[in-house]
Each structure stands twice: as C-alpha cells, then as structure tokens.
Amino acid sequence: AQSVTQLDSHVSVSEGTPVLLRCNYSSSYSPSLFWYVQHPNKGLQLLLKYTSAATLVKGINGFEAEFKKSETSFHLTKPSAHMSDAAEYFCVVSSYGGSQGNLIFGKGTKLSVKP
C-alpha cells in the first residue's frame, strides 16, 4: 500500500529565508509524487510533480523538489520565502492497483511567513 508522511505540521520562516517542507513516502511501486498548495479558503493548486523522469523537479513560484529513492523522500524547497507563500502544502502519492488514479494525501504542512 502507498502512504505519505509529512514530517512537520507547521513550519514558520522569515521572508527571504529558505523553505524546507519534508515528505517521506511509502510505495511498493515506482511512485508518482506531487506537491499541492492550498491558500486560505481556496482550492488546491498543483506546484509540481515527479513521474520517474528527472529526480529534481521544478515547479511554479520558485519551488522545487528532489526525489530520493534511497531515502524515500520528496522534500519541497524554495530558496527565498515570500509572504504570498503562506499556505497549506500537501505531499501526495498516487495509488495503484484497484484504486488507480487515487491520490493519497499527506496531512499537510502549514507554512507561515514572517515579515
């Protein structure tokens, strides 16, 4: 079975400093992995995805994530935080077998950005 664990429920950074949101996954198959962002009272927006191509994936708004199979990790990073990055971030793994197409969400990491 597939699962995903976001190691921090809340991360707080100062504007202009780096962002690191941690995610570990478990999958019997070669997984597809995603990061989605949800701003307050808004829908889910795809930041980036990994689908067995390049292990370093670049997304929108300056975010990127690196797939590390040996560590079963897919951490999200950004060199310099902006106030508008404050939101909830979800690490997501795809499921296989009888639930193909099913996304399995992590519990989310709330990112706060201080001025």
Instruction: State the residues that interact with other proteins by CB under 8 A.
Output: 32, 34, 36, 38, 41-46, 49, 51-52, 88, 90, 92, 94-96, 99-103, 105, 107-108
Find the shortest distance in angstroms from Cβ 70 to other proteins: 21
Find the shortest distance in angstroms from Cβ 113 to other proteins: 18
Extended beta strands in the chain, E state: 3-6, 10-14, 19-21, 23-26, 33-38, 44-50, 56-58, 64-68, 73-78, 87-94, 103-105, 109-114
Residue closer to other proteins (CB basis): 60 or 79? 60
